[in-house]
Structure 1
Amino acid sequence: MTKHSHDADVAFIQALAELLRENDLTELQVTREYGEDDKLDVRVARQTQVITTVAAAPVAAAPAAAAAPAAAAEAATNDDPAQHPGAVTSPMVGTAYLQPEPGAKSFVQVGDKVSEGQTVLIIEAMKTMNQIPSPRGGTVKRILIEDGTPVEFGAPLMIIE
């Protein structure tokens, strides 16, 4: 099967798990190659539990009753930006930057109109700067991250409506 030490693999996996915990990551995948036709593929992941609560205001009159479901739906999208229909989410794990370089003007600001495909930020992953385009045209309503923030796959970055 393999020609390397089982104890070394266990220590390697334990080190990956510690790295996962120390950096507050949810998943890490690594391939360790020992030579031709001899490698170890490791995926270390942990489950996170997200609890979302929505509290509806008491209904005082019949006309308000019709507005209550819409208000509750709006509150839910405000509580969890990832569920907002205009959310722009991270396509990768990395560090998000709102500017092309330190001291430069931001790609976009709240209130800016953007077109589909326009670069709205960059994410650095493995020393590579990846331009993140707007998935739709619209107006930037919220920016949910700060410059230099570490992001995970699927994390909401901004809201464009």
Structure 2
Amino acid sequence: MSRMLVDADAIRALADILTETGLTEIEVAEKDNRIRVVRSAGGQIVHAAAPAPVAAAPVAAAAPAPVDAANHPGAVSSPMVGIAYLTPDPSAPPFVHEGQVVTAGQTIMLIEAMKTFNQIKAPRSGTLTRFLVASGDPVEFGEALAIIE
């Protein structure tokens, strides 16, 4: 049985890259070693390091799938890729707060894409129970941004 050496500095450096770039996971393989660092849905950094056999099990099977908020019936999905902002500018209060009642068509956040700020409006009336992103977070098309119940 071979003993694997874990390079704590490499793991820290990869975790820093995740934080700086907003990525959810990163993997580096060199010869017979592989280091994979994954940010969980709660924002915690979880790391795994293992020998990298070429016929390894799929990476998706290594980590449990997070609960998919996009399937929630009240999910507000991102119509584009960009950066989410919960306020009109850094010194202003948020458009809405968690727990606030919103009306259909009310602006709940902005998404900046290609230097253009796009209003994200509530698709229905209800209570905004939870934001799933924070200001400055990168978002992808179809990603759940908030829950309105």
Give the structure-2-normalised TM-score: 0.57
Aligned length: 94
2:84 paired with 1:96: yes
Matches within 5 A, 1:1-161: 79-161=67-149
Q: State how far apart, in whole Å, the 2-side matches of 1:116 and 1:91 are.
A: 16
Residues 156 and 52 of structure 1: is their aligned pair in 2 closer, same or farther, counting only changes over 3 Å? farther
Normalized per residue, the structure richer in helix is 1
Quote the offset at 1:137 in angstroms: 0.3
Q: Is the 8 A contact 2:132 2:146 kept in 1?
A: yes
Instruction: Among all aligned residue pairs of Structure 1 and Structure 2, give the percentage whose two residues are the same amino acid.
Output: 53
Give 5+ residue unaligned stretches, structure 2.
1-20, 25-58
SS of residue in 1 equivalent to 2:70: helix
Q: TM-score, normalised by structure 1?
A: 0.53
CA RMSD of the aligned region, Å? Answer: 2.5
Contiguous gaps of at least 5 residues in structure 1:
1-21, 26-47, 54-77
Larger Rg: 1
- Which 4+ runs in 1 deviate beyond 6 A? 50-53
Question: Conserved in 1, the CA contact under 8 Å of 2:22 and 2:138?
Answer: no
Relative to structure 1, is the Cα distance of residues 88 and 49 closer, same or farther in structure 2, using a 3 angstrom cutoff? farther
